[in-house]
Structure 1
Protein backbone atom coordinates (compact mmCIF):
# COMPACT_ATOMS: atom_id res chain seq x y z
CA UNK A 1 0.00 0.00 0.00
CA UNK A 2 2.78 2.34 0.93
CA UNK A 3 4.59 1.36 -2.20
CA UNK A 4 1.60 2.13 -4.47
CA UNK A 5 1.18 5.58 -2.87
CA UNK A 6 4.85 6.25 -3.43
CA UNK A 7 4.52 5.26 -7.10
CA UNK A 8 1.47 7.51 -7.49
CA UNK A 9 3.33 10.41 -5.86
CA UNK A 10 6.40 9.90 -8.06
CA UNK A 11 4.19 9.66 -11.16
CA UNK A 12 2.41 12.88 -10.24
CA UNK A 13 5.73 14.67 -9.71
CA UNK A 14 7.05 13.43 -13.04
CA UNK A 15 3.90 14.65 -14.78
CA UNK A 16 4.31 18.09 -13.22
CA UNK A 17 7.97 18.26 -14.19
CA UNK A 18 7.20 17.13 -17.71
CA UNK A 19 4.43 19.72 -18.06
CA UNK A 20 6.94 22.47 -17.31
CA UNK A 21 9.22 21.19 -20.06
CA UNK A 22 6.58 21.14 -22.76
CA UNK A 23 6.42 24.89 -23.29
CA UNK A 24 6.95 24.78 -27.05
CA UNK A 25 10.04 25.50 -29.11
CA UNK A 26 12.44 28.19 -27.95
CA UNK A 27 12.59 31.41 -29.95
CA UNK A 28 15.54 31.64 -32.32
CA UNK A 29 17.98 34.26 -31.12
CA UNK A 30 20.75 33.41 -33.52
CA UNK A 31 23.87 35.41 -34.17
CA UNK A 32 22.11 37.40 -36.88
CA UNK A 33 20.21 39.17 -34.09
CA UNK A 34 23.53 40.33 -32.63
CA UNK A 35 25.11 41.49 -35.88
CA UNK A 36 25.04 45.16 -36.90
CA UNK A 37 21.98 46.29 -38.78
CA UNK A 38 22.15 47.26 -42.44
CA UNK A 39 22.22 50.96 -41.58
CA UNK A 40 25.20 50.60 -39.26
CA UNK A 41 27.01 48.44 -41.83
CA UNK A 42 26.42 51.11 -44.48
CA UNK A 43 27.75 53.79 -42.12
CA UNK A 44 30.91 51.79 -41.52
CA UNK A 45 31.34 51.14 -45.25
CA UNK A 46 30.79 54.82 -46.01
CA UNK A 47 33.42 55.95 -43.52
CA UNK A 48 35.90 53.39 -44.84
CA UNK A 49 35.26 54.54 -48.42
CA UNK A 50 35.71 58.15 -47.34
CA UNK A 51 39.02 57.37 -45.64
CA UNK A 52 40.14 55.55 -48.80
CA UNK A 53 39.32 58.62 -50.91
CA UNK A 54 36.42 56.94 -52.71
CA UNK A 55 34.01 59.83 -52.14
CA UNK A 56 31.29 58.80 -54.59
CA UNK A 57 30.92 55.35 -53.01
CA UNK A 58 31.20 56.91 -49.55
CA UNK A 59 28.36 59.35 -50.24
CA UNK A 60 26.17 56.53 -51.56
CA UNK A 61 26.79 54.34 -48.48
CA UNK A 62 26.38 57.21 -46.04
CA UNK A 63 23.08 58.26 -47.61
CA UNK A 64 21.93 54.63 -47.61
CA UNK A 65 22.76 54.42 -43.89
CA UNK A 66 20.63 57.50 -43.22
CA UNK A 67 17.79 56.21 -45.39
CA UNK A 68 17.87 52.83 -43.62
CA UNK A 69 17.42 54.49 -40.24
CA UNK A 70 20.44 54.53 -37.98
CA UNK A 71 19.63 53.52 -34.41
CA UNK A 72 21.52 56.32 -32.68
CA UNK A 73 21.30 60.04 -33.42
CA UNK A 74 25.06 60.30 -32.89
CA UNK A 75 25.57 57.85 -35.78
CA UNK A 76 23.25 59.89 -37.99
CA UNK A 77 25.24 63.02 -37.07
CA UNK A 78 28.46 61.23 -38.09
CA UNK A 79 26.94 60.25 -41.44
CA UNK A 80 25.91 63.87 -42.05
CA UNK A 81 29.38 65.05 -41.01
CA UNK A 82 31.11 62.86 -43.60
CA UNK A 83 28.58 63.91 -46.24
CA UNK A 84 29.38 67.53 -45.35
CA UNK A 85 33.09 66.84 -45.76
CA UNK A 86 32.47 65.31 -49.19
CA UNK A 87 30.37 68.29 -50.30
CA UNK A 88 32.96 70.76 -49.03
CA UNK A 89 35.75 68.91 -50.84
CA UNK A 90 33.65 69.07 -54.02
CA UNK A 91 33.12 72.85 -53.71
CA UNK A 92 29.42 72.43 -52.87
CA UNK A 93 29.31 74.77 -49.89
CA UNK A 94 25.50 74.99 -49.69
CA UNK A 95 25.16 71.19 -49.45
CA UNK A 96 28.07 71.14 -46.99
CA UNK A 97 26.25 73.64 -44.77
CA UNK A 98 23.00 71.68 -45.07
CA UNK A 99 24.69 68.47 -43.92
CA UNK A 100 26.32 70.22 -40.96
CA UNK A 101 22.89 71.64 -40.01
CA UNK A 102 21.37 68.16 -40.18
CA UNK A 103 24.20 66.78 -38.02
CA UNK A 104 23.53 69.45 -35.38
CA UNK A 105 19.77 68.79 -35.55
CA UNK A 106 20.35 65.09 -34.88
CA UNK A 107 22.84 65.65 -32.08
CA UNK A 108 22.79 69.05 -30.37
CA UNK A 109 26.16 68.29 -28.76
CA UNK A 110 27.75 67.40 -32.08
CA UNK A 111 31.13 68.97 -32.70
CA UNK A 112 34.17 68.39 -34.84
CA UNK A 113 37.32 67.08 -33.24
CA UNK A 114 40.21 69.59 -33.14
CA UNK A 115 41.89 68.28 -36.30
CA UNK A 116 38.61 68.42 -38.23
CA UNK A 117 37.69 71.86 -36.86
CA UNK A 118 41.03 73.22 -38.04
CA UNK A 119 40.56 72.02 -41.60
CA UNK A 120 40.84 75.00 -43.98
CA UNK A 121 37.85 74.01 -46.12
CA UNK A 122 35.11 72.72 -43.81
CA UNK A 123 36.31 74.19 -40.50
CA UNK A 124 35.10 77.72 -41.29
CA UNK A 125 31.85 76.39 -42.79
CA UNK A 126 31.07 74.37 -39.67
CA UNK A 127 31.88 77.28 -37.35
CA UNK A 128 29.57 79.58 -39.30
CA UNK A 129 26.74 77.02 -39.14
CA UNK A 130 27.20 76.72 -35.36
CA UNK A 131 27.12 80.52 -34.94
CA UNK A 132 24.04 80.71 -37.17
CA UNK A 133 22.24 78.11 -34.99
CA UNK A 134 22.86 80.11 -31.82
CA UNK A 135 21.02 83.16 -33.20
Structure 2
Protein backbone atom coordinates (compact mmCIF):
# COMPACT_ATOMS: atom_id res chain seq x y z
CA UNK A 1 0.00 0.00 0.00
CA UNK A 2 3.04 2.27 -0.12
CA UNK A 3 2.71 2.78 -3.85
CA UNK A 4 0.25 5.30 -5.27
CA UNK A 5 -1.18 2.78 -7.75
CA UNK A 6 -1.97 0.22 -5.08
CA UNK A 7 -3.43 2.85 -2.79
CA UNK A 8 -5.69 4.08 -5.60
CA UNK A 9 -6.69 0.51 -6.42
CA UNK A 10 -7.74 -0.01 -2.82
CA UNK A 11 -9.72 3.25 -2.90
CA UNK A 12 -11.37 2.19 -6.16
CA UNK A 13 -12.36 -1.22 -4.80
CA UNK A 14 -13.74 0.36 -1.64
CA UNK A 15 -15.76 2.93 -3.64
CA UNK A 16 -17.06 0.16 -5.90
CA UNK A 17 -18.11 -1.94 -2.92
CA UNK A 18 -19.88 1.12 -1.48
CA UNK A 19 -21.79 1.66 -4.74
CA UNK A 20 -19.93 4.89 -5.54
CA UNK A 21 -19.30 3.99 -9.16
CA UNK A 22 -18.14 7.36 -10.57
CA UNK A 23 -15.58 7.65 -7.75
CA UNK A 24 -14.58 4.00 -8.22
CA UNK A 25 -14.07 4.49 -11.95
CA UNK A 26 -11.92 7.57 -11.41
CA UNK A 27 -9.76 5.87 -8.76
CA UNK A 28 -9.34 2.70 -10.82
CA UNK A 29 -8.29 4.64 -13.92
CA UNK A 30 -5.82 6.66 -11.84
CA UNK A 31 -4.48 3.44 -10.31
CA UNK A 32 -3.77 2.06 -13.78
CA UNK A 33 -2.17 5.34 -14.85
CA UNK A 34 -0.04 5.44 -11.68
CA UNK A 35 1.25 1.97 -12.48
CA UNK A 36 0.26 -1.24 -10.78
CA UNK A 37 3.16 -3.67 -10.61
CA UNK A 38 1.14 -6.83 -10.36
CA UNK A 39 -0.67 -8.14 -13.41
CA UNK A 40 -3.26 -9.51 -11.04
CA UNK A 41 -3.86 -6.01 -9.59
CA UNK A 42 -4.10 -4.59 -13.10
CA UNK A 43 -6.63 -7.27 -14.03
CA UNK A 44 -8.68 -6.49 -10.92
CA UNK A 45 -8.83 -2.82 -11.84
CA UNK A 46 -9.81 -3.62 -15.42
CA UNK A 47 -12.46 -6.10 -14.24
CA UNK A 48 -14.19 -3.53 -12.07
CA UNK A 49 -13.95 -0.98 -14.88
CA UNK A 50 -15.61 -3.55 -17.14
CA UNK A 51 -18.43 -4.00 -14.65
CA UNK A 52 -18.91 -0.23 -14.32
CA UNK A 53 -18.84 0.45 -18.06
CA UNK A 54 -21.17 -2.45 -18.87
CA UNK A 55 -23.75 -1.31 -16.34
CA UNK A 56 -23.62 2.20 -17.81
CA UNK A 57 -24.13 0.75 -21.33
CA UNK A 58 -20.63 1.56 -22.59
CA UNK A 59 -20.24 -1.89 -24.09
CA UNK A 60 -17.18 -1.19 -26.25
CA UNK A 61 -15.33 0.10 -23.18
CA UNK A 62 -16.54 -2.90 -21.22
CA UNK A 63 -15.20 -5.32 -23.82
CA UNK A 64 -11.89 -3.43 -23.97
CA UNK A 65 -11.58 -3.61 -20.18
CA UNK A 66 -12.10 -7.38 -20.18
CA UNK A 67 -9.48 -7.75 -22.93
CA UNK A 68 -7.08 -5.54 -20.94
CA UNK A 69 -7.67 -7.67 -17.84
CA UNK A 70 -6.71 -10.81 -19.74
CA UNK A 71 -3.69 -9.08 -21.29
CA UNK A 72 -2.50 -8.04 -17.83
CA UNK A 73 -3.08 -11.49 -16.35
CA UNK A 74 -3.48 -14.38 -18.82
CA UNK A 75 -5.02 -16.47 -16.02
CA UNK A 76 -7.82 -13.91 -15.54
CA UNK A 77 -11.32 -15.41 -15.40
CA UNK A 78 -14.59 -14.33 -13.88
CA UNK A 79 -16.19 -16.47 -11.23
CA UNK A 80 -19.15 -18.53 -12.37
CA UNK A 81 -21.64 -16.11 -10.83
CA UNK A 82 -19.85 -13.09 -12.32
CA UNK A 83 -19.74 -14.69 -15.76
CA UNK A 84 -23.47 -15.36 -15.54
CA UNK A 85 -24.37 -11.73 -14.91
CA UNK A 86 -26.96 -10.54 -17.47
CA UNK A 87 -25.19 -7.26 -18.26
CA UNK A 88 -21.51 -8.09 -18.46
CA UNK A 89 -21.63 -11.87 -18.87
CA UNK A 90 -22.36 -11.78 -22.62
CA UNK A 91 -19.64 -9.16 -23.20
CA UNK A 92 -17.15 -11.20 -21.17
CA UNK A 93 -17.94 -14.35 -23.15
CA UNK A 94 -17.21 -12.48 -26.40
CA UNK A 95 -13.67 -11.88 -25.16
CA UNK A 96 -12.87 -15.49 -24.33
CA UNK A 97 -10.25 -17.11 -26.55
Q: Deviations over 1:85-107 (max 9, x none)?
A: 00001011000001001101111
Match for residue 69 of structure 1?
A: 35
Offset of 1:117 from its aligned partner? Answer: 1.0
CA RMSD of aligned residues (A): 0.9
Match for residue 4 of structure 1?
A: none
Match for residue 36 of structure 1?
A: 2
Structure 2 segments unaligned to the other structure (5+ residues): none
Q: Deviating runs (4+, > 6 A) in structure 1?
A: none
**1:94 has 2:94 as partner:** no
Select the structure of larger CA radius of gyration: 1
Equivalenced residues, count: 97
Match for residue 46 of structure 1?
A: 12
Q: Deviations over 1:27-81 (max 9, x none)?
A: xxxxxxxx53111110011011111111110001000100010010110010000
The alignment's TM-score, normalised by the length of structure 1, stands at: 0.69
Structure 1 segments unaligned to the other structure (5+ residues): 1-34
**1:109 has 2:75 as partner:** yes
